[in-house]
Structure 1
Amino acid sequence: MKILYVGHAYMVTNGHKKFSYLSEMRHEVSVIRPHKWYAPAWSRTLMPEPMPSGIRSREIKVFFEGKSGGYFYSPFVLLREVKLLKPDVIVIEQETFSISAFQISILAKLLKIPYITFSWENIKKDLGWRKWTNRIVVTNAAGAIAGNSAAAKIVQNDGFEGNVEVITQFGVDDSSFFPNENDKSESIAKFVYIGRLVEEKGIKSMINAFISLNEKNATLDIVGGGPLENYIRDIAQEYPQINFLGPVRHQEVPEVIRQYDILILPSIGSDSWDEQFGLVLAQAMLSGLAVIGSDNGAIPDVIQDKELLFRSGSEIEISERIKALLDAEYRKTKAKDLFIRAKREYTCYSVAKKSESYIKEVLE
């Protein structure tokens, strides 16, 4: 098949390995992405990073760069490049309510090319006038992929009548994230939180739960940066079992995460945001860790083990999950089960394989 992916998420190399696997499966993969992209979360402009060998990439000027829901491509250049690439199918990896998704859906319709949408958004929002463009994108799609089950339901409620396949967007590179071969201490359980230090991540509930246990055989390290840094520094000075390590570079995460036994993701969400996947969960699972997480957003989708979930913000339930995982044999069993699940569901290869299967199903 000749598959064309379109989206600004592929400015950086994080998601490129999926394309390499699809290429190895004898598919011709092309990518259209912006010529440059301002990333507000990082406060810097990204330039397109090189694609893997054999993957064709087209960089096109965009208008309203940096506005993920509002940007669109230079129309005539987009038309020319799609005609030259001659794809069998287009995968639009932009939210269905975005202007670029609408633009590409109209172009695909004109050129009689089937397209598949991708959605992360798991909170139904008031789209205003864009509810009409969203409906056009959704109802004319040949297929739909969602990053989580809640997003899949939203796409169906918006008018898509076919099967919405739940597949994460990129997958995790298991050549970087793999278990630590060295034996870990069974007498001390090392917990870690890795992520943004913001209120909606539920960090305060996690810290309070950990303190309430007053457990000498467990430590909690907090890795990341954000508005709660000073609060966490103060806590770490008062309680020796809690350590604040600050932010680490993306490349350092695999080595950092392997040093721990259990990862905690205690998100509580907000009115406008819930966890859409929890990438660090999949990374930890592939690294051989046990994980516990709240019932916020897509976290239950990823963990799929009630014994490892707790109600968002419930310090009592967090304490109970922590206490259970102090048992070395119990956490080894859970870690093994989670590792097997992650290898099956969340590696770059498994994401590529599932994507291939669904695209073939759509085109039949």
Structure 2
Amino acid sequence: MRVLMLSKALVTGVYQKKAEELAKLPGVELLVVTPPYWTEARVGRLELERRFTTGYELVVEPMRFNGRHHLHWYPGLGKQMRRFRPDLVHIDEEPYNWVTMHALLQAERVGARAIFFAYQNIYRRYPPPFSLFEQRIYARAAGGLAGNQDALDVLRRKGFRGRGEVIPQFGVDPDIYRPLRPPAQQPEPIVAYYGRLVPEKGVDTIIDALAQLPPPSRAVIVGAGSERTALQER
């Protein structure tokens, strides 16, 4: 099976391990299309990293409206689909975004089926044209992946009747995230966070909770964002 995955998230090198694992599946030929960078609000410009690129083809396509979740798209995506001729297009985007609608249309032009990804776990109504994109995607996609059960419940409530599966976006790589020492030999409890340092992530709650634990205990926080300075001062 020839699979084309469209994902701006794969500009981050560690996430590319997922593509390597997918490419190992018997009979799968994988092409990943990603932008040269992605601009994330309150974080900045995330440049493409090439870390895990074995076993599949990684193609960089320029993006229009970079940094705008609902409006961005890839003008050269149709060219890549005509060249690769996929059987399945994995659109790593929410169903209400224009990039998802555009990718579905391009997939249909080459006779490929398409699936989408949803992490939105809050029921919201979107204005046209985004609500129209949603309903078109729900009716014509071969399936939908949800990052959690709540997200799948929202899809069902909004009218998606196709095949849906709960699959966390990237999961955890046990080769990277593993105990360095057995718990019995750990001298102190450690809470670790790696990600964006923005208010909605609740990293300040980790610090508040840690203050209520008996010593010794500590937190290791790695990331960037608008809350970094405030968190460092605590």
Q: Which TM class, normalised by the smaller chain length? A: 0.7 to 0.9
Superposition deviation, residue 131 in structure 1: 0.5
Q: The residue matched to 1:132 in structure 2 has which SS?
A: helix
1:70 equivalenced with 2:71 (yes/no):
yes
- Aligned equivalents of 1:80 and 1:206: distance in 2? 46
Q: The residue matched to 1:109 in structure 2 has which SS?
A: helix
- Aligned equivalents of 2:58 and 2:71: distance in 1? 22
Q: CA RMSD in A?
A: 2.7
Superposition deviation, residue 64 in structure 1: 0.6
CA contact (8 A) 1:197 1:229 kept: no
1:17-72 Cα shifts (integer Å, max 9, x gaps)? 22222222221011122244333343225136366233122222221112122111
- Aligned equivalents of 1:72 and 1:108: distance in 2? 14
Q: Whose helix fraction is larger, Structure 1's or Structure 2's?
A: 1
Q: TM-score normalized by structure 2?
A: 0.83
Task: Report the AA paired with residue 131 of structure 1.
Answer: S
- Aligned equivalents of 1:84 and 1:109: distance in 2? 14
- Aligned equivalents of 1:19 and 1:136: distance in 2? 27
- Aligned equivalents of 1:212 and 1:65: distance in 2? 42
1:33 equivalenced with 2:34 (yes/no):
yes
Give the direction of change, closer, same or farther, for the CA distance of 1:212–1:97 in structure 2 (3 Å limit).
Answer: same
Task: Report the AA paired with residue 35 of structure 2.
Answer: P
- Aligned equivalents of 1:13 and 1:231: distance in 2? 26
CA contact (8 A) 2:85 2:110 kept: no
% of aligned pairs identical? 24
Give the direction of change, closer, same or farther, for the CA distance of 1:67–1:205 in structure 2 (3 Å limit).
Answer: closer
Partner of 1:265: none
Q: TM-score normalized by structure 1?
A: 0.56
Task: Report the AA paired with residue 118 of structure 1.
Answer: F
Describe how 1:73-84 pairs up with structure 2 within 5 A.
Answer: 73-74=74-75, 77-84=76-83
Q: The residue matched to 1:164 in structure 2 has which SS?
A: strand
Structure 2 unpaired stretches of 5+: none
Give the direction of change, closer, same or farther, for the CA distance of 1:208–1:22 in structure 2 (3 Å limit).
Answer: closer
Superposition deviation, residue 203 in structure 1: 5.0
Q: The residue matched to 1:25 in structure 2 has which SS?
A: coil
Q: Computing the radius of gyration over CA atoms, which structure comes out larger, 1 or 2?
A: 1
Structure 1 unpaired stretches of 5+: 235-364
Q: The residue matched to 1:5 in structure 2 has which SS?
A: strand
Q: The residue matched to 1:44 in structure 2 has which SS?
A: strand
Partner of 2:164: 164
Task: Report the AA paired with residue 190 of structure 1.
Answer: P
Give the direction of change, closer, same or farther, for the CA distance of 1:193–1:65 in structure 2 (3 Å limit).
Answer: same
1:93 equivalenced with 2:97 (yes/no):
no
1:171-213 Cα shifts (integer Å, max 9, x gaps)? 3222222222366447x64242525555444455555555456
CA contact (8 A) 2:143 2:162 kept: yes
